[in-house]
Amino acid sequence: MRASDVVTKPAWSCFAHDTLQRAAQIMWEGGCGMLPVVDAARRVVGVVTDRDVCMAAYTRGLRLCQMNVGSAMTTAVHVVRERDPLESVEATMRCGHVRRVPVVDDGRTLSGVVSIDDIARAHRRASATADGLADQIVVNTMAEICQRGPMRVSCPEARVVSDLMTRTVHHCRTRDSLHRVAGSMWDLDCGALPVVDEAGRTVAMVTDRDACMAAYTRGDALHDIPVTVAASQAAHSVRPDTDLGVAEAVMKMHRVRRLPVLDIGGNLVGMLSIADIVRNARRPIEPGDALGFEKVAATLESVYRPDDARLMGALGG
Evaluate whether residue 281 is within a structural domain: yes
Residues 171 and 283 in one domain: yes
Residue of 309, 286, 230 lying closest to 25 (CA atoms): 309
Residues 172 and 68 in one domain: no
Evaluate whether residue 239 is within a structural domain: yes
pLDDT at 147: 65
Q: Which of 78, 99, 115 is the last residue of a domain?
A: 115
pLDDT at 269: 94
Residues 203 and 96 in one domain: no
Residues 180 and 67 in one domain: no
Residues 70 and 185 in one domain: no
Residues 201 and 82 in one domain: no
Evaluate whether residue 29 is within a structural domain: yes
Expressed as residue numbers, the domain containing 196 is 161-301
pLDDT at 62: 97
Evaluate whether residue 317 is within a structural domain: no
| Residue type (1 letter), 52 | D
Question: Which mean pLDDT values do the consecutive 10-residue runs of the chain (317 residues) have?
Answer: 85 95 96 94 95 97 98 93 91 88 90 86 62 69 66 73 92 96 94 91 93 97 96 85 95 91 91 90 85 86 62 34
Residues 168 and 264 in one domain: yes
pLDDT at 140: 76
Evaluate whether residue 208 is within a structural domain: yes
pLDDT at 8: 83
Residues 175 and 281 in one domain: yes
Residues 111 and 168 in one domain: no
pLDDT at 312: 35
Q: Which of 89, 115, 141 is the last residue of a domain?
A: 115
Evaluate whether residue 241 is within a structural domain: yes
pLDDT at 44: 95
pLDDT at 313: 36
- Which CATH number covers residue 45? 3.10.580.10
Q: Where are the extended beta strands (E) located within the chain?
A: 14-15, 34-38, 44-49, 80-81, 100-104, 110-115, 172-173, 192-196, 202-207, 258-262, 268-273
Q: Which of 115, 130, 152 is the last residue of a domain?
A: 115
Total domains in the chain come to: 2
Evaluate whether residue 132 is within a structural domain: no
Measured between alpha carbons, how far is 131 from 135 in angstroms, rounded to an integer? Answer: 9
Upper half-sphere CA count for residue 225 (Cβ side, 13 Å): 29
**98 Cβ contact list (under 8 Å, min separation 6):** 78, 92, 145
Residues 165 and 110 in one domain: no
pLDDT at 143: 74
Evaluate whether residue 252 is within a structural domain: yes
Residues 176 and 286 in one domain: yes
Residues 110 and 166 in one domain: no
